[in-house]
Amino acid sequence: MNANPKFTNRLIEETSPYLLQHAHNPVDWVAWSSSLFTEAQKNNKPILLSIGYSACHWCHVMERESFEDETVAAYMNANFINVKVDREERPDVDHIYMDALQAMTGSGGWPLNIFLLPNGKPFFGGTYFPPKTLPQRASWLDVLKGVSEAYTNNHEKINDQAEQLTQHLLKKNIIHQSASLASASVSENGGNELPTKEELEIIGNRILQNADTMWGGFGVAPKFPQTFCLQMLFRNYKINGNESCMVHAVRSIDKMIQGGLYDHLGGGFARYSTDAQWQAPHFEKMLYDNALLIGVMAEAYQITKKDIYASIIKQTVSFLKRELSNQQGAYYAALDADSEGVEGKFYTWSYDEIEKLVDPSLFTEFCNYYQVTQNGNWEHTNILWTTEALEKSFTPEFVNAKNILFNHRSKRIRPALDYKIILSWNCLLITALCKAYAAIGDDEYKQAAIDAIVWVENNFSESDQEYLFHTNTNGVKKSFAFLDDYGALIQSYIHLQEITGDTQYLHKAEKWMGYVQAHFLDEEGVFFYYTAQYQTDVIVRQKDTYDGAQPSGNALICMSLYYLGHVFDRASWISQSEQMIHQMRKLIIQYPSSFSYWGQCFSWMSADAIELVAIGPKVHNSLKKALSRYQPHKILIFSDKEDPSLPCSFGKYSVDNQYYICINKTCLPPNEVLDDILALI
């Protein structure tokens, strides 16, 4: 957004790029804090809470249309305490009030504009409001006036509505847990037994019920990558041999990387496609999407050995290092969808531009391949995408043409960078880099993962505090870390140990799991709150279990409890993870698309439990071979020296340079030949 020097509000003191975008609005915005409730109560004004993020197109539109309008701003300032929240900086606040909005309207989205009593309880809200009244949609100023008048003239009714909504939020955890408990007793295998391969087959087939067999993915527009669903299809293929699951997962990946969702010039993926064919993306590029897609493509490569997946992983990692890296190991949050106020302008092309840049001998073929037309293939301009095999685009002629276009594009005005560094998103990327290294064996990915964890360890804590922070923006650490931050960190340590053989990573994972148990565990001792018990600036503590664009914190923790419970011989952790799955069982089976990261832990419990260990100075020579196979249900420790503090089932073995395998807690004799061991898996 263009800064207006005429105005400066209190957001100028913030570090979030999204909040700073609004620092020169005539609206007297303030950031979220516990003191804002005191200010609201002192002035007896309702709170307008407006939540968005820097890469949100419609957030920018509403700012231009309404928040930069001096008449509108004057009314907001006179009648409300106006609060701006970056949903990526405070996902806890976003979760609470998005739940409230969905309870009120049945839908949600961003920008999220919700009105609160001075005590923080919500009573009315919506998403985008236009500057002028449209059919079936009030203007923003009309909404403001209506809310202000209702607050003044119908205060008792507003209070009642706020109280009902708050009670709904408070009861949601109890209701959800009751439903989960009930599901355990009526699950499709009849009780609290471990998940079965038959149930996994049901899950795979239910995911396929929503499959788009023409264009890949699931459902109709808009289409999201749904990487966890694809990974569940791979897991069912692995365990039950369901070819349809593997075929659709590969089809989906192929169609995504052919489409405009993937940046054919610079690498990296946009957040989602606005159409069913993956042609026209919503152009913002998020760190977490790219991390999760690297992970699923690494698995696809392990299964298929298709070189194109390795190439796409390499290009995507190159994009992240070039455009989202702080060059010290960590990665920024996102790139905006807009540049020069126009969505996608940085990435799209006119026919004439391409004609001037691409060699005439290749021009016609290039345009046909990438669907480029004189009139444009999207809003009078062209998005590069193809319906042909992607291997063709890696021929020398096409690579040269793409490099010319990329260099030309690099001179354009770039989309804005959201330079927040978010703990959980970086840890998701560390895990993805570990998976990429495991699949392909490129040391670049291992080193990038190690560099990232070093930065994380040095920059998300204070020396005198044991807790971590959620964000680090220009060196300023903000917000207590949330459950998914710790969950993603623990997972990254587990994967780092597998690719390095450094068992200290396992001990770090164990340490933070103990911290989560101490500060996030619920009263029943099974699930975990999203916020720590020492965080007191939200009206409710939620327990999130839904797997959306990112895995839920509870699902991440469940997976790690099961893994670390086996490694450290902690029966209570294994039991707790099994209890979590029991209570989520019916939801996972009936609605697998909404609980598909949970499903990955479910699939592990239904599979043969495999532990593979080797100790000695020579075992690293064979680590890449052991990692390269697709085996998502394994514990793998190849260490150059014995770690007696790991009391797992193979800890009693200490013969150097021997390979040991235990399947379902039955350990076979050691073997000097890794291939013989792998043949047993």
Residues 6 or more apart from 220 whose CB is under 8 A from it? 212, 276
pLDDT interval class at 106 (50, 70, 90): confident
Average per-residue pLDDT for the chain: 93
CA 29 – CA 112 distance, rounded (Å): 15
Q: Where is average pLDDT lowest: 148-157, 254-263, 506-515?
A: 148-157
Q: Residue 461 pLDDT > 70, yes or no?
A: yes
Q: Which stretches does DSSP call E strand in 561-643?
A: 610-615, 634-639
Percent of the chain with pLDDT over 70: 95
Q: Residue 662 pLDDT > 90, yes or no?
A: no
Q: Residue 648 pLDDT > 70, yes or no?
A: no
Q: What does the pLDDT read at residue 655?
A: 59
Phi and psi at 170, nearest 5°, equal -65, -40
Phi and psi at 656, nearest 5°, equal -60, 140
Q: What does the pLDDT read at residue 190?
A: 43
Q: What does the pLDDT read at residue 649?
A: 45
Residue scoring higher pLDDT (14 or 182): 14
Q: What does the pLDDT read at residue 465?
A: 87
Residue scoring higher pLDDT (321 or 189): 321
Does an H or E element contain 280, and which? none
Q: Residue 182 pLDDT > 60, yes or no?
A: no
Q: What does the pLDDT read at residue 192?
A: 61
Q: Residue 629 pLDDT > 50, yes or no?
A: yes
Q: Residue 411 pLDDT > 60, yes or no?
A: yes
Q: Residue 616 pLDDT > 90, yes or no?
A: no
pLDDT digits (tens, 9 = 90+) for 519-540: 999 999 999 999 999 999 999 9
Phi and psi at 322, nearest 5°, equal -80, -40
Q: Residue 191 pLDDT > 60, yes or no?
A: no
pLDDT interval class at 665 (50, 70, 90): confident
Query: For the purposes of burial, counting CB atoms within 10 Å of the CB of 664, is it exposed (0-12), middle (13-18) or buried (19 or more)?
Result: exposed
Q: Residue 176 pLDDT > 90, yes or no?
A: no
Q: Residue 3 pLDDT > 70, yes or no?
A: no
> Which amino acid type is present at position 46?
P
Q: Residue 292 pLDDT > 90, yes or no?
A: yes
> Which amino acid type is present at position 429?
L
pLDDT digits (tens, 9 = 90+) for 240-290: 999 999 999 999 999 999 999 999 999 999 999 999 999 999 999 999 999
pLDDT digits (tens, 9 = 90+) for 541-561: 999 999 999 999 999 999 999
pLDDT interval class at 189 (50, 70, 90): very low
β-strand pairing of 658-663 with 610-615: antiparallel
Q: What does the pLDDT read at residue 563?
A: 96
**Mean pLDDT calculated for residue range 649-658:** 59
Q: Where is average pLDDT lowest: 105-109, 284-288, 296-300?
A: 105-109
Q: What does the pLDDT read at residue 84?
A: 97
